[in-house]
Amino acid sequence: MKPGETNPERLWTRTRRAAYAEITDIAMRLFLSQGFDATTIDEIASASGISRRSFFRYFGTKEDIVLSDLVREGEEARRALEERPESEPPWTALRNVVLSVSGPSHDHERRLKVTKMMYETPSLRSRCFEKHLQWQEQIVPEVRRRLAGEHAVEQWPDVRARSLVASAIACLDIAGEAWARADGDVPLGELLEAAFDAVGRTREP
């Protein structure tokens, strides 16, 4: 590329990201002010100054707007798990990773409102479950690798790896729901610790 020239692909990417962020922000404001189910895709498109057809170029469903961060958090969890010390048992490593990706938010009130909306809306709960299954597929290979390094040879390493990851995600889901029911008055980290402790005690040899 010659000096002074603009890369069309890079410009297109920046433009798309900016539009994606703007539509997300507008949609979330509508969801939180009038309710998820009461907000239509046509309303979101109109408020964003785009057509309904253009909306579907950015989002597959209305639910994806609310849960888009879950995909990014799944990638963060995978990378964080890979960076945990090899000396940590798989369950301990998973615990530390979940605690890290669920740390304090800079906007506590907004996070609480979004969390409540998710747990009160069946379609969001269902879509969240699908996203968490994606987490499982991302994280299981690293847990399986760590299990292979343990002194005991596992007869069914994939079954145990998937069980550990599914249990960790269940702890996250249960703690999140409890945090929402408590109106955020109890720290999410404290609820996560309680959930992981409960499961950890039942799996101690």
Measured CA to CA, the distance from residue 57 to residue 55 in angstroms comes to 5
Measured CA to CA, the distance from residue 170 to residue 89 in angstroms comes to 19
Q: Given this model, what pLDDT does residue 202 score?
A: 56
Give me the residue spans of the domains in the chain: 1-60, 62-203
Q: Given this model, what pLDDT does residue 8 score?
A: 60
Low-confidence ranges of the chain (pLDDT < 70): 1-9, 12, 149-155, 202-205
Q: Given this model, what pLDDT does residue 16 score?
A: 83
CATH 3.40.47.10 fits 1-60, yes or no: no
Q: Given this model, what pLDDT does residue 187 score?
A: 92
Measured CA to CA, the distance from residue 158 to residue 160 in angstroms comes to 5
How many CA within 13 A on the CB side of residue 6? Answer: 7
Contact between 77 and 175 under an 8 Å Cβ cutoff? The reply is no
Contact between 99 and 77 under an 8 Å Cβ cutoff? The reply is no
Q: Given this model, what pLDDT does residue 204 score?
A: 44
Question: 169 exposed, middle or buried (CB, 10 Å; 0-12, 13-18, 19+)?
Answer: buried
Place of tokens 């498109």: 45
Backbone angles phi, psi at 164, to 5 degrees: -65, -45
Q: Given this model, what pLDDT does residue 6 score?
A: 52
Q: What is the pTM of this model?
A: 0.82
Residue 45 structure tokens: 């498109």
* Domain at 62-203: CATH code: 1.10.357.10
